[in-house]
Amino acid sequence: MPDETGHGSRARQGLAIAGFVLGLLAVAAAILLALGTWQGFVRETAPELLDRPGGPWAVGCVLGLVTLGGAFGGSRLGDGPSGRPRLRRMARGTGAAVCWVAAAAPGMYLLEALPGKNCSSYKTSCQYIPGTGGALLAYLLTAALLGRLCFRLRGARAEARGARERERLRRLRKKGKGKSRGGRQR
C-alpha cells in the first residue's frame, strides 16, 4: 500500500524494471541457444551433404532454387489486398513470413558452414568443410542468374498486361464509351 512518500510505487517500479531485465536476458538466452543449435546442425549435416560426387554444386543449385522459391512466395503472399478479413490477412502474413525465412535459411546455412573469423583452426567447430566454397559459389550464381531472369519475366508480363489494358481503353474511347461525361459533351 503506497504511503504519502510514494515508496510503494517505487517498489513496484523496481520490480517492473527487474522483470524487464530478466525478460531481456531470457530472450538473449533463447537467441543464443537457437544460434548454437543452428551451428551444431550445420556442422553435423554439411559434411555428409557436400561429400557426394558433384555434391557442392548440386547442393548450391538446390539451395539457390529454395531461396528463389521462398522469395517468390513471400512477395506473392505479401502483396495481398488489405480489404480482406482479418483471419485471412493474418494467414497470408504468416505464410509470407515462413516463405521469407525459407528464402533466408539456405544462405545462412552455407555461411555457417564456412570457418569462423575469430576461431582457432584446431577446434572442430571451426574447421573448413570441404566443398563449402563451391556450394556457396553455385548458390550465388543460381540465385543471381535465375532471380534476374524471373525479375525480367515478371516485368515483361506486367508490361504486356499494361499494353493490353491501354489497347482496351483506346478501343473503348474510339467507340465513345471510354470518355468521361465532360469529354462526351465536347
Q: How many CB atoms lie within 10 A of CB 49?
A: 20
Q: What is the pLDDT of residue 185?
A: 54
Mean pLDDT by groups of 10 residues along the chain of 186 residues: 62 89 94 85 85 85 92 83 79 89 90 75 72 89 91 90 90 72 53
Q: Which among 66, 89, 65, 85 is positioned nearest to 77, based on CA atoms?
A: 89
Alpha-carbon span 177 to 173, nearest angstrom: 6
Rg (CA), the chain: 28
Q: What is the pLDDT of residue 7?
A: 59
Helix H or strand E encompassing 120 = none
Q: Which among 67, 74, 83 is positioned nearest to 135, based on CA atoms?
A: 67
Alpha helices in 79-125 (DSSP H): 86-113
Alpha-carbon span 81 to 154, nearest angstrom: 19
Q: What is the pLDDT of residue 76?
A: 85
Grid cell in block for residue 85: 478479413
- pTM check: above 0.75: no
Alpha helices in the chain (DSSP H): 7-50, 55-78, 86-113, 132-175, 181-185
